[in-house]
Amino acid sequence: MTGDYLTRIGTLIRTARQHRGWSQAQLGEALGTSQSAVNRIEQGKQNVSLEMIARIGEALDSEIVSLGYSGPMHLRVAGGTRLSGAIDVRSSKNACVAILCASLLTTGRTTIRSVARIEEVYRILEVLTSIGVKSRWINEGRDLELTPPAELDLAAMDVEAARRTRSVLMFLGPLMHRAQHFAIPYAGGCDLGTRTVQPHLTALRRFGLEVATTGGAYHASVEPGAPMDRPIVLTERGDTVTENALLAAARHDGVSVIRNASPNYMVQDLCFFLEK
């Protein structure tokens, strides 16, 4: 080893020894060597074999040199210092996707601040623009402006983009207020195993949505929903199924009570948007 590496290793050994509360003599005794030998090692003035480094680490209960071992790491934290400052936080992809779908509930302009510019957001945007929604990035690309048309061109939906995101399921809630009959492709997205869409269909049926799953698409038809004289009980406490029920309830007459709803942050962000 070169002198520079020996010095750095020696410093690590000295720090670990002092942290253990040992003297050089105590470490030497544990290693079966002399105090002067330990001193030379810590000064970087003696070659050290990998075997010796391993023995020192075992004696001090401290991994001196990591060789890709995935076990626990030893950290020493000197606390008691007041911290201050500011950082820029990334915005929520899940909340943004829900609000993108919710923009279909209105024909007015929607502006979303601090949009997460990631793939799933782009996929939903591709679907929205394919059915006639105008989108425009503003404020140096940080914010997004959406303007749906008076009539959506659902027949022109970008099937490829829709199949690449499971979030397209959240089109069911708002589209039932925009069209009596429509279809969306089977939802795809991340590979997390088989996940049923039945909780969505069960919840939305109470609002008058009936769905037949044939030919690689969900074929939806809308009839006037029954009065909400009893709560809707979700069969799955999921974020997207809660959001779908919220999107359907937002333009449904009367008061809707949703039981077993997810309280996660993205659901709350959607609620804030719907309130506005």
CATH of residue 47: 1.10.260.40
Taking residues 16-20, what's their average pLDDT? Answer: 87
Mean pLDDT (the chain, rounded): 88
Angle at the Cα of 54 from the Cα atoms of 52 and 58, rounded to 5 degrees? 115
Give me the domain span that covers residue 185: 93-275
Higher-scoring residue by pLDDT: 162, 74? 162
Instruction: Determine the pLDDT at residue 191.
Output: 40
- For residues 73 and 57, what is the distance between their CA atoms, to the nearest angstrom? 12
- For residues 55 and 128, membership in a common domain is answered with no
Using the predicted structure, report yes or no on whether residue 72 has a pLDDT greater than 70: no
User: Stretch 93-119: mean pLDDT, rounded?
Assistant: 92
Q: Are strands 143-147 and 134-138 parallel, antiparallel or unpaired?
A: antiparallel
Kindly state the average pLDDT of the residues 252-269: 94
- Cα separation, 17 vs 5, whole angstroms: 18
Beta-bridge partners for 137: 144
Indicate whether 115 pLDDT > 50.
yes
User: Helices 119-130 & 93-102, crossing angle to 10 degrees?
Assistant: 10
Q: Which of 87, 222, 115, 98 is nearest to 166 (CA)?
A: 98
Concatenating the DSSP letter of every residue in 59-121 gives HHTS-SS-SS--S----------------PPPPPHHHHHHHHHHGGG-SS-EEESS---SHHH
165/239 same-domain check? yes
Q: For residue 223, is pLDDT > 60?
A: yes
pLDDT at 104: 96
Interval 182-196: pLDDT, tens: 999 987 544 433 457
Say whether both 121 and 214 belong to one domain.
yes
Residue with tokens 């989108």: 135
Residues 29 and 157 reside in one and the same domain? no
In the predicted structure, residue 4 carries a pLDDT above the cut 70: yes
| 56 and 9, same domain (yes or no) | yes
